[in-house]
Amino acid sequence: MIRSHLTVTPYSLLLNAVELLPMLLEETKIGWTPTTNSEKDAVWRQVDRLLADSSFSRSKRYPTLLRFMVSRTLDGDTDSLKERILGIEIFGRKPDYDSTQDPIVRVTAAELRKRIVRYYQDPEHEHELRFDLPAGSYIPQFRASADSATAVPLAAQEAVYPLRQGDSPKSVTLTFLSSRTAWLWLILGVCGLVIVAAALIFSKAYRQDAFDAFWQPLIISKQPIFICTADQPVVGNAMLIDAEHPVQPLFSNRIAHIMTADTLVPVVDLSGSLSSRGHANKVQPQGRTTFSDLGSSPVVLVGAFNNFWTLQFTKSLRFHFNNDPAFKHLWIEDSQDPAHRKWSVDTTVQDLSEDYALVARYREPSTRQWTVVVAGLGGKGNIAAIRFLLSREHMSELDNSAPRDWRSKNLEIILKTNLINGDAGPPQIEAVHTW
């Protein structure tokens, strides 16, 4: 045994454990970066295995995109994995194409994430090398199962058991794997001491971060999250709904409905983010949505003046939408100060400099379902609101702006976004109300 040639002392055990801990954590939590030819070969074999599944084999777009992303990642060229570059190189778009109007890359990547998640949900694949594609990123991560022979890179193995003359890498690997449980117990013991010490030092109860706390009431439900989007009929001019007296538009089922890019992009991002975390969801336009649909599962309402259900459900809230009869001015109204119209836009101005959005999370009394509202006065407000909700960094600002007990209460947030070259800038919290 190789271990019989090592001098083992408590100090050396601790030192080796500390040195090995980052590598093992990289393997079991955030993935590892293949560096050797054998590790890269293992990745490509898993690519072939994945794409042979019926979820991928019947499509050309998903295999092409996945192979391209894996290839560039293994080559260390992750700078080229940007939306615009993928649109040009994979989907043949022109170099100056507008990715906000043509979300082909985001749509394809979101669907690819769903299929990868479904693939690994099958117990037959749970011991295979795993691919993850984090939401908002086009850089795949690789993660091996605990009992896989590729679970620990050779570099990590040699950190504990150096090769002697005459030893083969295979024998080192087998020796390491056979004692891996002991090492993990040692490392877990060290981590446990660190955690206890930290608890004694800070003496503070664990708090969920703002992102998880906001979404928890919806994601703990066993029902798929129902995403109701704003839409417009294909024929005729855009129809805005009066916020003070919302009436559900009655369209013939034969009339097709469309979503603008400012609605489609945030919906794709939201649906993809939920799917990547294993949360099933269903997207349906408001023109096809009934009250019974909204009473069967948690709901996310996207859009305001072209989504009847948003206006209907929010009109009794403190912060809600309003407009003048000619729809020249749209604003978010505070029922405690109706004359205050700071959060408004003038629709007669072509190049607006700012937009506002309402984000709410509450249990809707009429449906008894947890409901999230993501609605801007304009389309850019929709985009800014989704960016806020899907960003842990932005969501963490709630702890500074909202009452300390907001996690356990219903919540409304007013957001402002400055428009930069026609695109939504970073969202800023303007006001928060809880009840």
CA distance 392 to 403: 18
Residue 23 near residue 155 (C-beta atoms within 8 A): yes
Backbone angles phi, psi at 333, to 5 degrees: -100, 145
Amino acid at 382: N
Tell me the two tokens of residue 136.
């908002």
Residue 183 near residue 160 (C-beta atoms within 8 A): yes
Is 201 buried (19+), middle (13-18) or exposed (0-12) by CB count in 10 A?
A: exposed
Domain ranges of the chain: 2-198, 211-434
Measured from the Cβ of residue 374, the count of other Cβ atoms closer than 10 Å reads: 30
CA distance 83 to 80: 9
186 Cβ neighbours under 8 A, 6+ residues apart: 13, 17
**Could you tell me which of 68, 73, 74, 66 has the C-alpha nearest to residue 40?**
74
How far is the CA of 105 from the CAs of 4, 97, 186, 384, in angstroms?
Answer: 55, 12, 45, 19
- pLDDT tens per residue, the chain (435 residues)? 344 344 444 444 444 444 444 444 444 444 577 888 888 888 999 999 988 888 887 788 888 999 999 999 998 888 889 999 999 989 889 988 888 888 999 999 999 999 999 898 888 888 888 888 888 889 998 887 644 444 444 444 333 334 444 444 444 444 444 455 566 667 777 777 777 666 655 544 345 688 889 998 998 888 899 999 988 755 445 568 888 878 776 554 544 556 677 678 778 888 988 888 888 999 998 888 899 999 989 999 999 998 999 999 999 999 999 999 999 999 999 999 998 889 999 999 888 899 999 999 999 999 999 999 999 998 899 999 999 999 889 999 998 999 989 999 999 999 999 998 878 899 999 999 999
Q: What H or E segment, with its residue span, contains residue 233?
A: strand 232-233
Residue 275 near residue 110 (C-beta atoms within 8 A): yes
